[in-house]
Amino acid sequence: MGNLVAIVGRPNVGKSTLFNRLTQSRQAIVNDEAGTTRDRQYGKTEWSGHEFSVVDTGGWVVNSDDIFEEEIRKQVMIAIDEADVILFVVDVVNGVTDLDMEVASILRRTKVPVILVANKTDNHNLQYNAAEFYSLGLGDPYCISALSGSGTGDLLDLVVGKFKNEPEELLDDDIPRFAVVGRPNAGKSSIVNAFIGEDRNIVTEIAGTTRDSIYTRYDKFGFDFYLVDTAGIRKKNKVVEDLEFYSVMRSIRAIENSDVCILMLDATRGIESQDLNIFSLIQKNQKGLVVVVNKWDLVEDKTAKVMKTFEDAVRTRFAPFTDFPIVFASALTKQRIFKVLEMAKEVYHNRTTRIPTARLNEEMLPLIEAYPPPSNKGKYIKIKYCTQLPNTRVPSFVFFANLPQYVKEPYKRFLENKMRERWSLRGTPINIFIRQK
Ligand code: GDP
Ligand code: GDP
């Protein structure tokens, strides 16, 4: 199970600089595709064989200069609830401030491992300043310079050393994992309850781990899958629910541990930044997607035209990824809730699609010949062969070219669209790589 590291601290101590340090190299590899917008707050990284996620709590504050103490306090509480390790960043140049003490007093009460990071230790002399951070009562301050990178390697060793080695849950790998995600009040608990109903026999809690399991098995009406994090959906923290940061933090674990995400939107509201943030997390993790426009019972005008308008709006906001199912449903009246599950099942299968190499070349090569990549400085670009990579998380394809560096994003998108027209890849991301022949 993936670990989650949260970076907390008052503004300007260097949280975002540290976040970039910890995630950058990896980001460059993962984000081969078009740039994603919300890179600052959530990233994935790897260190000595541990893959984990990093969240910069400061990234959620629009204007760092007038953050209220109260908001930082809430963010720290959310971080404690969700993270496996907390990096509490302080600034050796400025020393201890009231806000640092406030944050420290919350962190002292948690069981989650906290690492006190004394940032901006750009030279040895500054190390002596760090001694004053002992007064925070969180043990040894760990001196780094996020700007130069000094000390960050050792810090990462320390971080991964704090991860708990929990046994893997005994899950059947052939059974899909669905996560219901969305912002507060979109109807997540309602739809999960609608699936489960009063019939306790439909779900089984998975035993065998130290932490409360985040999976329940659902096996009825021709469906068999794990619901991820349903306990998390039931347990609500009303105090902080209004914070955008909260709904995103709550979604990370569920998304990371799923195959397909059921993203709940509220039909009575437009698509807002929270929806986009959660969508972005799904994309970054390359999960399958089914969008549910919930509370459809509340929409008076249910004509095909209105549906189409709604659908177009959703696809426009989520572009360039637009090939996913959208279901207009009501968790309250249970209208089309099984359709949601059918779609999730279909997306799961699409995510495991295998296209035989011969078929792939038969279909794609004539097309490429008819519409070749644009030549570059008079040099012709030829693609002679393509194949699907084995054992990947999502369908991934390699196209071999004489000059791969000149095959640009728009052409890759063209290939992707053509593949989506030919094979059932709805709801799943795919990867297209161009390599040297
Ligand atoms: P945040 O508000 O906590 O996310 O802080 P930022 O990462 O935006 O950093 C605030 C300022 O401190 C920026 O001007 C950074 O360049 C600077 N900064 C961050 N880390 C270091 C460091 O290790 N040394 C020095 N000298 N400056 C740093
Ligand atoms: P969550 O925060 O995403 O888990 O949302 P809840 O399931 O708690 O639902 C929030 C509110 O919306 C509750 O008052 C629900 O009764 C209501 N609600 C959820 N789904 C529907 C729906 O399909 N139609 C209507 N009319 N109300 C709904």
Does 29 score more than 50 pLDDT? no
Number of the ligand 2 atom closest to the C-alpha atom of 330: 23
Best mutation site among 190, 244, 302 for ligand 2 pocket (most ligand atoms within 8 Å of CB): 190
Q: Whose CA is nearest to atom 22 of ligand 2?
A: 295
- Provide residues with CB under 6 Å of ligand 2: 182, 184-190, 233, 294-295, 297-298, 330-332
Please confirm whether the linkage preceding 320 is cis (ω < 30° from 0): yes
Contact 357, 388 (CB under 8 A): yes
Instruction: Answer with the residue of higher pLDDT: 184 or 343.
Output: 343
pTM of the full structure? 0.87
Over residues 140-153, mean pLDDT: 95
Over residues 406-413, mean pLDDT: 93
- Return the bridge partners of 400, or none: 385, 435
Residue 279 CA to residue 42 CA, distance in Å, equals: 12
Residue 324 CA to residue 322 CA, distance in Å, equals: 6
Does 387 score more than 70 pLDDT? yes
Among the bound ligands, name the one nearest to the CA of residue 7. 1
* Tokens 């994003």, located at residue: 409
147 vs 117, 123, 160, CA distance in Å?
13, 12, 21
Instruction: Answer with the residue of higher pLDDT: 233 or 164.
Output: 164
Ligand 2 center to 143 CA (angstroms): 47
DSSP state of 317: H
Best mutation site among 7, 15, 16, 17 for ligand 1 pocket (most ligand atoms within 8 Å of CB): 17
Q: Whose CA is nearest to atom 11 of ligand 2?
A: 185
Q: Whose CA is nearest to atom 25 of ligand 2?
A: 295
The alpha carbon of residue 389 and the mean position of all alpha carbons in its chain are separated, in whole angstroms, by 23
Does 430 score more than 90 pLDDT? yes
Phi, psi of 358 (to 5 degrees): -60, -45
Residue 102 CA to residue 270 CA, distance in Å, equals: 37
Ligand 1 center to 14 CA (angstroms): 4
Least confident window among 37-46, 143-152, 340-349, 354-363 = 37-46
Among the bound ligands, name the one nearest to the CA of residue 232. 2
Phi, psi of 390 (to 5 degrees): -80, 155
Q: Which two tokens mark 368? A: 């490429």
Per-residue confidence (pLDDT) for residue 436, from 0 to 100: 92
Residue 82 CA to residue 79 CA, distance in Å, equals: 5
Number of the ligand 2 atom closest to the C-alpha atom of 192: 7
Instruction: Answer with the residue of higher pLDDT: 222 or 293.
Output: 293
250: burial class by Cβ within 10 Å (0-12, 13-18, 19+)? Answer: buried
Does 171 score more than 50 pLDDT? yes
Among the bound ligands, name the one nearest to the CA of residue 265. 2
The alpha carbon of residue 182 and the mean position of all alpha carbons in its chain are separated, in whole angstroms, by 12
Contact 277, 248 (CB under 8 A): yes
Per-residue confidence (pLDDT) for residue 33, from 0 to 100: 38
Best mutation site among 180, 181, 183, 185 for ligand 2 pocket (most ligand atoms within 8 Å of CB): 185
Task: Give me the sign of the Cα torsion angle 35, 38, 39, 45.
Answer: negative
399: burial class by Cβ within 10 Å (0-12, 13-18, 19+)? Answer: buried
Ligand 1 center to 13 CA (angstroms): 6
* Tokens 């989520």, located at residue: 318
